A and B are shown apart, each in its own frame.
Chain A
Amino acid sequence: MRDRWLKYVLLLPAALLVLGTAIWPLAVSLATSFRDWRLTRSLTPGEFVGLEHYIVALTDDPDFANALGVTAAFVGIDVTITVLGSLGLALLLRRAGVLQSLTRAVLILPFAVSPALVGISFRFMFNAEMGVFTWLAGSLLPWLRGFVWLADPWASLLVLVFSDVWRWVPYMTLVVLGGLAALPREPEEAARIDGATEWQVLRDVTLPALLPVLAVVAVLKTVFALKMFDQVVTLTGGGPGNATVTLAYLVYNLAFRWFDMGYASAVAWILTAMLVVLAVFYMRLVLRKPDA
């Protein structure tokens, strides 16, 4: 009898911790999303409005539609560059050499920098008058001389992508390098003996074997790109206009600038629903048996 209950008693502290720090706040925000609660009017949640916030967000809110479009564009460009960049860099670093060892050693550094600091630093580096990247781009491409990067909607989005790619590509390169190291060498050697060129070996042998790792990289990066917040705050502030307002930044604005807690909770839950779908997909990829 004692043994039967012991396992539950031992699990209780961890279960309570998860319940208090993860499940409870999630449940409260879900309940809030069905209520009308503006902090400027009341300190407690107001009347029950059902799915109204969700319906308004999905059908009748230009700010939400804009944030959804910005987030989709950001995720699309960011994930594509990150996956291709980390694959290319990992292939370059596969060979042994001094330069390769040096690069492998510094790969973790950008990921160790706080994203807020990355945003502030890139804002200075893309400053119109004294930014070093503004100067570099103007020197290499004369038609970009004097271009104000953070005042153009698409350019500011690209700067945001660049700052995120700078932080993530080296880290994802380490993941792809791990995947490359785990691949058996025999199929590649057999293809070379059969007369395949290096490009054919890469396209027909290495890449198909590496596809599960690349899929994990893509899904993981999509999850993190969907939650993009820190660099938006410190690099662009959502501007110019609302050209770089992502969904996470919109939730922040709704809740802590406009104090509309009910609607902010609903938008946050729409974002959470997208993340849950991706998380389930990610777990299926990771936990999939090799022969399945």
Chain B
Amino acid sequence: MNRAVARRLLWRGVQSALLLAVLFLILFPIVWMALRVRLTITDVRRGGAAGRP
């Protein structure tokens, strides 16, 4: 394989890895917040208080 092509492929791979990391960092807290709200609602419906801050 041509060295320039290999370098370009490697750079594309690094870019994709960076974007995946960014996607994780953006989405993870949102999913976590949504899950936490769901857990709290379930907990309050059961009459518990464990989900409350």
Please give me the residue from chain A that is nearest to B25 by CB atom.
A166
Task: Please tell me which one of the listed residues B18, B23, B53 contacts residue A106 in the complex, with CB atoms under 8 A apart.
Answer: B23
**Residues A130-148 near B (CB distance < 8 A):** 132
Instruction: Name which of B22, B23, B53 has the most chain A CB atoms within 10 A of its CB.
Output: B22
A120 interface contact, C-beta 8 A: yes
For A102, what are the chain B residues with a Cβ–Cβ distance below 8 Å? 23
- Whether B19 pairs with A100 at a CB distance below 8 angstroms is yes
- Whether B30 pairs with A109 at a CB distance below 8 angstroms is yes
Task: Please tell me which one of the listed residues B16, B19, B36 contacts residue A121 in the complex, with CB atoms under 8 A apart.
Answer: B36
**Residues A98-137 near B (CB distance < 8 A):** 99-100, 102-103, 106-107, 109-110, 113, 117-118, 120-122, 124-125, 132
A-B contact count (CB 8 A): 46
For A89, what are the chain B residues with a Cβ–Cβ distance below 8 Å? 22
- A228: shortest Cβ distance to chain B, in Å? 18
Chain B facing A: main interface SS: helix
B47 interface contact, C-beta 8 A: no
**Residues B8-42 near A (CB distance < 8 A):** 15-16, 18-20, 22-23, 25-27, 29-30, 32-33, 36
Please report B residues at the A interface, Cβ cutoff 8 Å: 15-16, 18-20, 22-23, 25-27, 29-30, 32-33, 36, 53
- Whether B19 pairs with A124 at a CB distance below 8 angstroms is no
Please give me the residue from chain A that is nearest to B11 by CB atom.
A198
- A139: shortest Cβ distance to chain B, in Å? 14
A124 CA to B50 CA in the complex, in Å?
Answer: 13
For A107, what are the chain B residues with a Cβ–Cβ distance below 8 Å? 26
